């Protein structure tokens, strides 16, 4: 009986995590849509901007970005293609591995990131600082 109850507690915790994630993602998409971005678009820009902040001119391999934004390689490639078409990122060949592609933030991308960063952080603060919401 105790094992069954402990298992249910774990399942409930997992469902709470999923619910918070889903609600937060919806809020992010809604807030960022006004700027022409979705939550995943912003995450890619944010990863690239963090690299620029740390070393001034960082580029990432697509695989490195994929590991951080939790998108499949194909979904990320399509997203990066859209961001490149809009002038927010550039893609180039990876010098150390010709099969790889490196992605860099453009000045236009840095400007957009700076504009929407406070919006994204405000949503995260609002949605996550209160902790999980009981839906029972």
pLDDT for 136 = 46
Q: What's the whole-number average pLDDT of the chain?
A: 87
| CB neighbour class for 66 (10 Å; exposed up to 12, middle 13-18, buried from 19) | buried
pLDDT, average across residues 63-82: 91
Residues 76 and 62: beta-carbon distance below 8 Å:
yes
pLDDT, average across residues 53-69: 75
79 pLDDT above the threshold of 50: yes
Domain residues of the chain, as ranges? 2-128
pLDDT for 59 = 76
25 pLDDT above the threshold of 70: yes
Residue labelled with tokens 């952080």 = 121
Q: What is the pLDDT of residues 26-42, one digit of tens each?
A: 999 999 999 999 999 99
pLDDT for 135 = 47
What gap in Å lies between CA 61 and CA 119, rounded to an integer?
Answer: 27
pLDDT, average across residues 72-76: 90
134 pLDDT above the threshold of 60: no
pLDDT, average across residues 121-134: 81
State the distance between the two ends of the chain, measured CA to CA, in whole angstroms: 22
Determine if residue 92 is left, alpha or beta; phi over 0 gives left, psi from -120 to 50 gives alpha, anything else beta: beta
> What is the fold of 2-128?
Arc Repressor Mutant, subunit A (1.10.10)
DSSP 54-77: HHSS--EEHHHHHHHHT--HHHHH
What gap in Å lies between CA 25 and CA 96, rounded to an integer?
Answer: 35
Q: Computed from CA positions of residues 119, 65, 24, 75, in that sequence, does the dihedral angle turn out positive or negative?
A: positive
Higher pLDDT, residue 93 or 52: 93
pLDDT for 50 = 86
pLDDT, average across residues 113-125: 96
Q: Is the pTM of this model over 0.85?
A: no
């Amino acid at each position: 009986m105790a094992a069954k109850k402990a298992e249910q507690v774990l399942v409930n915790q997992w469902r709470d995590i999923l619910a918070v994630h889903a609600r937060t993602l919806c809020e992010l998409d809604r807030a960022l849509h006004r700027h022409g971005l979705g939550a995943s678009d912003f995450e890619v820009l944010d990863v690239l901007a963090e690299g620029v902040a740390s070393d001034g001119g960082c580029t990432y391999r697509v695989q490195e970005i994929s590991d951080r934004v939790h998108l499949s390689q194909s979904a990320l490639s399509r997203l990066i293609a859209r961001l490149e078409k809009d002038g927010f990122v550039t893609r180039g060949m990876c010098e150390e591995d010709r099969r790889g592609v490196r992605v860099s933030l453009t000045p236009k991308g840095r400007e957009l990131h700076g504009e929407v960063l406070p919006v994204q952080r405000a949503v995260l603060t609002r949605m996550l600082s209160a902790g999980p919401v009981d839906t029972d």
